[in-house]
């Protein structure tokens, strides 16, 4: 198998990356007009572009969509506040899903400890959410 990357021959933007059998490499060598091929390892289209002068991959960071976006080096993409808050919101939702049992226990036994514990955990998470 050979890794090929098809890219825009004017901008260097990666359009498609795939592994193809050796027998298909020659067939793939004639891309559609406006496209070119880089042969080598599979490239991450979010982190790389092809330098159209040299035909070699170069590091690339896309433009920041808004000032509120932050670059996530791990995933190689811009994250919005909603993206950054998503794991926290998910954790809050999991805790809220536990509340009906805690409420039933509080009503039936008068013991509000479980309900208070859930509420405390939710409050801690809410305080870590990014806000305007």
For the chain, give every domain's residue range.
Answer: 2-59, 80-128
- Record the pTM: 0.61
pLDDT of residue 89: 97
Q: How many CB atoms lie within 10 A of CB 25?
A: 14
- Measured distance CA(110)–CA(107) in Å, rounded: 6
Residues 6+ apart with CB under 8 A from 93: none
pLDDT for the residue numbered 28: 52
Please list the ranges in the chain whose pLDDT falls under 50.
none
**pLDDT at position 25, please?**
63
Residues 40-72 pLDDT 10s: 777 878 788 899 888 899 988 888 999 999 999
Task: Report the percent of the chain where pLDDT is more than 90.
Answer: 48
């Amino acid at each position: 198998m050979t890794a090929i990357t098809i890219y825009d021959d004017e901008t260097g933007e990666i359009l498609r990356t795939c592994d193809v059998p050796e027998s298909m490499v020659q067939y793939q060598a004639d891309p559609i007009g406006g496209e070119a091929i880089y042969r080598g390892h599979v490239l991450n289209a979010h982190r790389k572009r092809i330098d159209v002068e040299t035909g070699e991959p170069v590091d690339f960071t896309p433009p920041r969509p808004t000032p509120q976006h932050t670059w996530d080096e791990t995933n190689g993409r811009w994250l919005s506040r909603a993206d950054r808050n998503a794991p926290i919101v998910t954790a809050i939702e999991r805790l809220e899903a536990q509340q009906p049992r805690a409420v039933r226990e509080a009503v039936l036994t008068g013991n509000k400890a479980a309900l208070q514990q859930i509420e405390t955990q939710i409050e801690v998470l809410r305080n870590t959410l990014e806000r305007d």
